[in-house]
Structure 1
Amino acid sequence: MQAVRYFQDPDVCVDFVASMRWPDGVTCPHCEGKKVSYLSSRRIWKCMAKDCHKQFSVKTGSVFEDSPIPLDKWLTAIWLVVNCKNGISSYEIMRDLKVTQKSAWFMLHRIRLALKNDPKHKFGFGGPVESDEAFIGPNPQKMHKDRKAKVQARDGLKGGFVGKTAVHGILDRELRQVRAKVIPNVNREVLQSAILDNVTPFAKVYTDEATGYIGLDKNLIHKVINHSQEYVNGQVHTQGIENFWSLLKRGLRGTYVAVEPFHLDRYLDEQVFRYNNRATKDNPLTDADRFALAVSQAAGKRLTYAELTGKVGGAETD
């Protein structure tokens, strides 16, 4: 409630987003010049560089760009997304912010893009790494037989994997950080490539007994826990990453209900952000800290509705 009251003034919203985006002073997003003039009547800046003279706002070149929705509603939506443990649906945003469900859905996907954080280092420098895969999707036993047959023919999957999407995750126990992404399948080449791309060669990696991990000990220290016999053997277990899967599935099933595989990566980014920035004994982050971090990551990213719905090609730009 304090945040809602604080951001009810449009000028306060602009000042806050500008301070998060340009901590060293306002910079023109077109030419990166620092000589700018603020037009208070329109809440925009004008670049005074000789070869630029373009106008811009705090929304320019960010996930807020070209959005007629005011910043106070954007900031409230960001606060809700980063601080609701199980996520928040577009219908809840619609009711809380008085926008259409379509606009709320678009806002949430743009916020998820802002939450995405590209890794700058590999895991495994200080402690063991857990690796595991999960399958996200509908329960095949509850699917209509005609739909089940159609999905099975399309994907070639059988049994309990019909209609599900494979995701892979790794957890660094020392950093208490997780990374997760959608993968095409759980074949050996795909799983081991995902691990080697994110883990140092001298790291200890703990996995379950899945056949996709066979041969991983040729590249790093690999320990296996056989879940048909036990779940923990000393330090060898995958309970940490399975806890992340539990949180992810709780949000997908309870809040979002149905998620298309095309969009699943964005929901993973949302859950990864909340997990990596949760309050711990060593890092007591507050709701305000998570919120400020999310706003600071909104610049340099753009997502159009056509890209989101797959009507045009292209990917997010940084």
Structure 2
Amino acid sequence: MAINGIQFQQGLSLPRFMETYGTDAQCAAALIQARWPSGFRCPACGAAHASEFTRGTLRYWQCRGCRHQTSLTSGTLMAHSRLPLTQWFLAIYLITQSKTRIAALALRRQVGLSWRAAWFIKHKLMEAMRQREAGRPLHGDVRIDDAYLGGERTGGKAGRGSENKVPFVAAVEMREGRPQRVRFDPVNSFSFASLRPWADKALAADAVVTSDGLLGFEVVSRMGFEHQVVIAGKGRAGCEVSAFKWLNVILGNLKTALTGTHHAFAFAKYAHRYLAEVQYRFNRRFDLASMVPRFITAIMQTAPCSRRQIQYVAEIGT
């Protein structure tokens, strides 16, 4: 069997990570580079000159133009955090470099946090992934399918009517017969009304869509996309249709990773973030070593997110 170059890439080893990001000073230097790669820019007026000072243990920059003061993490996802930067960076490393996933309970043990802090950091980082991926539509040859997360609850409805099932659209961008990028977007339903805004966001103008004949997917034809329908049978035979082979493999891996890592989570409340984490990592799988610095840049460009915002029941839909 030929060796899969993506799976066998070296990535970023733990010793190399500790060598690069093992101290708070190293982490701070990485954040400065990620936030101001061309030198300081005032977040209020855009001026390029500032005076630096410390207050307690925090480092501040005061703009020489408008006198606005900012810390390294203010206005970013890490704002108001009291955790050492080394713990943040270790959490980033574990979430981005794991081949499958890491649960908040395991993150708690490995980073040395309370369970609540570990859960909060994990969801903050997944939210940064979600925001980073939200505005990146798929191009060219795109295969789409309807899918569900979750199962029936004891005493509840069975099948697709289960209250614990979350519908989402799975889509893969193909190139030369291989999957390149994916999107997993929760939707209210597979009606025209729900799928039209999904298509607006998920499909680029040059997308050529292949679906399995689900009625709701006809909306892409009505929106002017080139649309091919390939009828897939039920059961195992339907999973082996060549047009959807890679999409079915990706969906199988997604559900295996989720169920293998998390015994349970509130699908309706948090599915958008768990799906976004898988999507983010899959779309950057070609270069695992660069995922940490790239994600640090994403975090510096993500607005603060309070615990209330993290725990608020998201409106499913696109």
Q: Deviations over 1:128-147 (max 9, x none)?
A: 11111211012x2xx322xx
| Corresponding position: 1:187 with 2:191 | yes
Which stretch of structure 1 is more off in the superposition, 56-65 or 40-49?
40-49
Segment drifting more, 95-104 vs 5-14: 5-14
**How far apart, in 2, do the equivalents of 1:76 and 1:38 lie?**
27
Whether the 8 Å contact between 2:170 and 2:183 is mirrored in structure 1 is yes
Aligned pair 1:129/2:130, yes or no? no
Q: Report the 3-state secondary structure (helix = DSSP H, G, I; strand = E; otherwise coil) of the residue aligned with 1:113.
A: helix
Greater shift in the superposed pair: 91-100 or 30-39: 30-39
SS in 1 for 2:299: coil
- Shift of the 210–6 alpha-carbon distance from structure 1 to 2, 3 Å rule, reads same
Q: Offset at 1:19?
A: 0.7
Matching residue of 2:274: 267
Alignment of 1:92-103 (within 5 A): 92-103=106-117
Q: Per-residue deviation at 1:84?
A: 1.3
Q: Is the 8 A contact 1:81 1:87 kept in 2?
A: yes
Specify which of 239, 246, 259 is matched with residue 240 of structure 1.
246
CA contact (8 A) 1:252 1:259 kept: no
**Residue identity matched to 2:281:** R
Q: What SS does structure 1 have at the residue aligned with 2:243?
A: coil
- Shift, 1:232, TM fit: 5.7
Following superposition, the deviation at residue 200 of structure 1 comes to: 4.3
Matches within 5 A, 1:13-52: 13-39=27-53, 42-52=57-67
Residue 250 of structure 1 aligns with an amino acid whose one-letter code is T
Q: Give the Cα–Cα distance (whole angstroms) in 2 for the partners of residues 193 and 6 of structure 1.
A: 42
CA shift, 1:171, in A, is: 1.6
Aligned pair 1:114/2:128, yes or no? yes
Letter in 1 for 2:226: I
Residues 128/232 of structure 1: CA separation in 2 closer, same or farther (3 Å cut): farther
Structure 2 CA distance for aligned equivalents of residues 103 and 45 of structure 1: 25
The gaps in structure 1 that reach 5 residues or longer are: 153-157, 280-284
Post-superposition Cα deviations, 1:111-132, rounded to whole Å, max 9, x if no partner, equal 11222315556433xx311111
Q: CA deviation at 1:50?
A: 3.9
Q: Once superposed, what is the RMSD of the aligned Cα atoms?
A: 2.6
Q: Secondary structure at the match of 2:76?
A: coil
Shift of 1:231: 4.8
Partner of 1:253: 259
Residue 10 of structure 2: aligned partner: none
The match for 1:76 is: 90
Structure 1, 5-14 or 291-300: larger mean CA deviation: 5-14
Cα gap change, 1:9 to 1:201, in 2 (>3 Å): closer
For 2:182 and 2:42, the matched residues in 1 are separated by 34
Aligned to 1:167: 168
TM-score w.r.t. length of structure 2: 0.81
Paired residue for 2:299? 298
| TM-score when normalising by structure 1 | 0.81
**Distance between the aligned counterparts of 2:65 and 2:218, measured in 1?**
62
Give distance in 2, aligned partners of 1:65 and 1:253: 32
Cα distance 1:257–1:72, how it changes in 2: closer, same or farther (>3 A)? same
Contact 1:10 1:71 (8 Å CA) reproduced: yes
1:196 Cα deviation (Å)? 4.5
2:119 to 105, 114, 121: 105
Distance in 2 (CA, whole Å) between partners of 1:119 and 1:108 is 18
Equivalent residues, number = 289
State how far apart, in whole Å, the 2-side matches of 1:193 and 1:238 are.
23
Quote the residue 1:86 is aligned against. 100
Aligned positions of 1:209-248 closer than 5 A: 209-214=213-218, 216-218=220-222, 219-228=224-233, 230-231=238-239, 237-248=243-254
Contact 1:231/1:237 (8 A) holds in 2: no
Asked if the contact 1:225/1:232 (under 8 Å) is kept, the reply is no
User: What is residue 211 of structure 2 aligned with on the other side?
Assistant: 207
5+ residue gaps, structure 2, are: 1-13
Q: What fraction of aligned residue pairs are identical, expressed as a percent? A: 20
Instruction: Tell me which amino acid in the other structure corresponds to 2:112.
Output: K
